[in-house]
Structure 1
Amino acid sequence: MKGYSLHAVNDLRYEELEYPECATGWCVVKVKAAGICSSDIPRVYTKGTYHFPTIPGHEFSGVVDKVADKENETLVGKKVGIFPLIPCRKCQQCKDGHYEMCSNYDYVGSRRDGGFAEYVAVPVWNLVELSDEISFEEAAMMEPLAVALHAIKIANVKNGDTVAIIGTGMIAFAAAQWAKKLGAAEVIVVGRSESKRKIAENIPGIGYATFENCKEEFDVVLEAVGSNSAIDTAINMVKAGGRLVLMGNPEGEIDLNQNTYWRILRKQLHIAGTWNSSYEKNHDCDWSEVKSALENHEIKASALISHFYHQDDLKVGMALMHDHKEPYCKVMTLWNRGE
C-alpha cells in the first residue's frame, strides 16, 4: 500500500508500506477521505510524532476492509468514521466513561499509525457505522465537528445567548454552526483579516468580524487560536459574568499580563478548557450527535472544505497550510478513488 511515513521532523515520505496487522478486536479500514488538521502541520514540520516512523492523520473515513474476529465479519464493506483516541480503560476517567480525559491514551495519527495511508488499523470499538446520507468527505470531518460540539456544550450555550468564536479554522466555523443550532441569538466568527468572510457568508445565520471591528461584548466567547493576542482579545470580548472556553492549541508559551489577569477577576469570568470530544460506542455522545446532524443535513460540513487533493498530492495541501499560500478552511485529501 502507499502512505505517508514521517521518518523525522520535516521528513515526510510518500512510499510503499506494509499492509497493517489486524489484532484481536481490531480491523483494517480502507481510507477514502482524510482531512489535514492544523495540528498535523507542527507535528510534521517542527514537533514530530511520538516516535519515528509514524503515519500521521487522525481525521479520516473509509470502508472496513478486514476484521480479526468472526463476530465482526458483518462490518466488512461498511462505511465508517473513526474516533481516533484509544483509551487505556484503566484510569479513573476511563472508568467514569470520560475517555477524552484518559490519562494514558493512545492516538491514531500521532502515537500510532494514522489515516494518511491507503489502509489503517483501528479498534472495532472506535468505528462509527454510517449511512449513505453521509459522504466520505463529511465522515472525515466528524472528529473536528465533534470537538467543536464538545466546546460549545462546555460553554453551556443557551437559547438567546450571544456568542463569538475567535479564530477562522474549520473547528471555529463548525463551533459557530453548533452554537446557532443550540439557539444562540447572535453568532460571529472573529478573524485577523477579511480573508475568511466568504466562508461565513456561506453559512446561514453566522456573522463575521475582524479583531479591529469587533467591540461588542458577548455572553460566550470561544478561543480557537491558541495565541497570547487571541486569548487577550477573548477576555476583552466576554461580558462580565460571561463564559470563556479555551480550545486553541498553544502556539508557544501563554503569558497573562497583570491587566489581563485583573480583567478575569473583575469580570468574574467562568473559564473552561477543552481539547477533544465525548465518545461511547452505540450510546449518546458528541459523535452520535454529529452523526445525526450530518444525516439530517443540520450542519453544513461540506461548505467548510476549501481544497481537495488526490492522495498523491497531500504534501501540496500541507505546504499550502504551512506557508499560508492562500486562504483555506478544511483541506481534504481523497484516497483509493482510482478503482
Structure 2
Amino acid sequence: MMNAVLKCKGAPGHMKFASVPIPSISPDQVLIEVKVCGICGTDRSFYHWGEAIANTYQIDSPRILGHEFAGVVAQVGSAVQGIKTGERVTVNPIYYCGQCSYCAEGLINICDNRQFLGINLNGAFAQFIAVKAQNVIKLPDSVSFISGALMEPLCVAIHAVERVKPGLGEVAVVIGAGAIGLLILMVLKAIGISRVIVTGLGVHKDRLQLAKSLGAETINIEEQDPVSIVKDITGGRGADMVFDAAGRPSAVSQAMKLVAKRGRIGITGFPAKPSEIMMTEVSLKEISLIGNRAYKLKTWQQACKLLEGGLNVEPMATHTLSLKDWERAFSLIDQRKGLRVLLAP
C-alpha cells in the first residue's frame, strides 16, 4: 500500500489523504517512486471545482491528481528497453496516441486522443506512479529533483515563447507574476530578449521583486497604469509581444491596449469566465492572437538543455511540504503565499 491524495468527486473540496494499492505495471510501463510533485493551477481548480473546470475536463473519481513531478525508477516493465531501476527521471504527462495527424507533426499537446496524468489517469500526488516508458525523461546529473518537477511548467513557458516567435530587440510584456509568467520571463531572457516588463497585483509584490531580480522591469497595476508606462517605454508604439499568464478574463483586453500594431498576444492563462475583446481592434491593428497549450515532444529536450546550461528554476519552488500536509499546501496557494508549492511523499 502507499499514501496518496485523491479527488473524490466533482464538487468543491472533496479531496482526501488515503492509503491505496501501489499500482502494478504493464510490460510497456515503469513504476516511479515520486520524490516531489508540484501543485499546478489545474490541480487547484480541481480542488475548488466550478463550472469552467467541469466543462473543460472530464475526470472520473476517485482520481489521484498531480502531473509535475520527478522521482526514481523503482521497477521496469518486461518490454521496456533503455531505462534502468534507480535512474532519476521526470515524466511528460501527456499520453498521446501517435496515430493522429497532429501526433505525426509532434504536436502531442493537441492530439485527437489526448489523455493526461492526474486528470484522465492517476497522477503523482502519491508515493508511486505507473507511467508509459515512452513518456519518461531522464534527468541530467546536474538537475535536481526540484528542478525536474519544475520541468513541466518550464516546458509550458518554452512552448508559449516559441509560438509567439520573439525577435531580437523586441519588447515583451508578461501579464501575471505567477510561476508560468516568471518562467516565460526566464525563457525570454535566456534567448536574448533584453527588455521584458512583468505586471502583477499589489499582493504579489514579492513575486514582482523576484521578477526584477531576474532582469525584468515590473509594474504593480494597482499603483501604476501599465498602458501608459509601456507606451512611454516604447515611444508610444506599444509592446511587440504580450503574454497572458494571468488567466483573468480581463487579461486579453488589457493585452490589446499594451500591444503594438501587428503585435502578437500569446494566451496561456485559463480564465474561469469568458473574456471580452473588441475584434475590430484586432483587425485594425492587425494583432495576432496566439493560443498556447502545453508543449510539443521536442520541448522536453529544450528544457533539459536549458537546465543543463545553468538556467536556475528553483526559485519558483517556494515551499516543499509532506504529502500528508496537502491541505496546508493548497491553503498557501489560496493565500497567494507560494509560487510552486511542492509535495514530497
Q: Same fold (TM over 0.5)?
A: yes
What is the CA-CA distance between 1:68 and the residue it aligns to? 1.3
Q: TM-score, normalised by structure 1?
A: 0.91
Mind listing any 5+ residue stretches in structure 2 that lack a counterpart? 231-237
Match of 1:292 in 2: 305
Are the counterparts in 1 of residues 96 and 115 from structure 2 also a CA contact under 8 Å? yes
Q: Deviations over 1:222-262 (max 9, x none)?
A: 11122221111111100111111111012122233xxx323
* 2:31 maps to 1:28: yes
Q: Deviations over 1:286-308 (max 9, x none)?
A: 111111111221x2201112222
CA distance in 1, matches of 2:260, 2:26: 52
**Residue type of the alignment partner of 2:330:** M
CA distance in 2, matches of 1:167, 1:114: 27
RMSD, aligned α-carbons? 1.6
After the TM superposition, which segments of 4 or more aligned residues of structure 1 sit over 3 Å from their partners?
Answer: 70-74
In structure 2, the CA distance between the partners of 1:233 and 1:92, relative to structure 1 (3 Å rule), is: same
**3-state SS of paired residue (1:103):** coil
CA distance in 1, matches of 2:35, 2:26: 22
Say how many residue pairs are matched: 323
Among 319, 324, 331, the alignment partner of 2:341 is 331
Are the counterparts in 2 of residues 50 and 111 from structure 1 also a CA contact under 8 Å? yes
CA distance in 2, matches of 1:266, 1:227: 24
Match of 2:269 in 1: 248
* 2:219 maps to 1:209: yes
Match of 1:282 in 2: none
Mind listing any 5+ residue stretches in structure 1 that lack a counterpart? 280-284
**Residue type of the alignment partner of 2:210:** I
Match of 2:138 in 1: 129
In structure 2, the CA distance between the partners of 1:72 and 1:239, relative to structure 1 (3 Å rule), is: same
CA distance in 1, matches of 2:185, 2:96: 29
Are the counterparts in 1 of residues 250 and 276 from structure 2 also a CA contact under 8 Å? no
* 2:181 maps to 1:172: yes
CA distance in 2, matches of 1:70, 1:124: 9
Match of 1:270 in 2: 288
In structure 2, the CA distance between the partners of 1:89 and 1:326, relative to structure 1 (3 Å rule), is: closer
What is the CA-CA distance between 1:319 and the residue it aligns to? 1.9
Q: Deviations over 1:62-111 (max 9, x none)?
A: 00111111543742110001100000222211122211110111110111
What is the CA-CA distance between 1:309 and the residue it aligns to? 1.1
Match of 1:62 in 2: 71
**Residue type of the alignment partner of 2:271:** P
Are the counterparts in 2 of residues 34 and 332 from structure 1 also a CA contact under 8 Å? yes
Q: Deviations over 1:150-192 (max 9, x none)?
A: 0001010122111011111101100011111112120121112
Among 81, 89, 95, the alignment partner of 1:80 is 89
CA distance in 1, matches of 2:306, 2:101: 31
CA distance in 2, matches of 1:175, 1:69: 39
**3-state SS of paired residue (2:72):** strand
Select between 86-95 and 189-198 the one with higher mean Cα deviation: 189-198
Among 159, 164, 179, the alignment partner of 1:155 is 164
**3-state SS of paired residue (1:228):** coil
Are the counterparts in 1 of residues 7 and 16 from structure 2 also a CA contact under 8 Å? yes
**Residue type of the alignment partner of 1:210:** N
**3-state SS of paired residue (1:236):** helix
CA distance in 1, matches of 2:132, 2:336: 37
CA distance in 2, matches of 1:180, 1:138: 18
Are the counterparts in 1 of residues 3 and 20 from structure 2 also a CA contact under 8 Å? yes
Match of 2:324 in 1: 312
CA distance in 1, matches of 2:47, 2:183: 24
Are the counterparts in 2 of residues 27 and 67 from structure 1 also a CA contact under 8 Å? yes
**3-state SS of paired residue (2:60):** coil
Select between 26-35 and 243-252 the one with higher mean Cα deviation: 243-252
CA distance in 1, matches of 2:4, 2:259: 44
Select between 113-122 and 157-166 the one with higher mean Cα deviation: 157-166
Match of 2:45 in 1: 42
Select between 81-90 and 245-254 the one with higher mean Cα deviation: 245-254
Match of 2:235 in 1: none
CA distance in 1, matches of 2:280, 2:342: 42
CA distance in 2, matches of 1:208, 1:333: 30
CA distance in 1, matches of 2:327, 2:154: 24
Are the counterparts in 2 of residues 158 and 183 from structure 1 also a CA contact under 8 Å? no
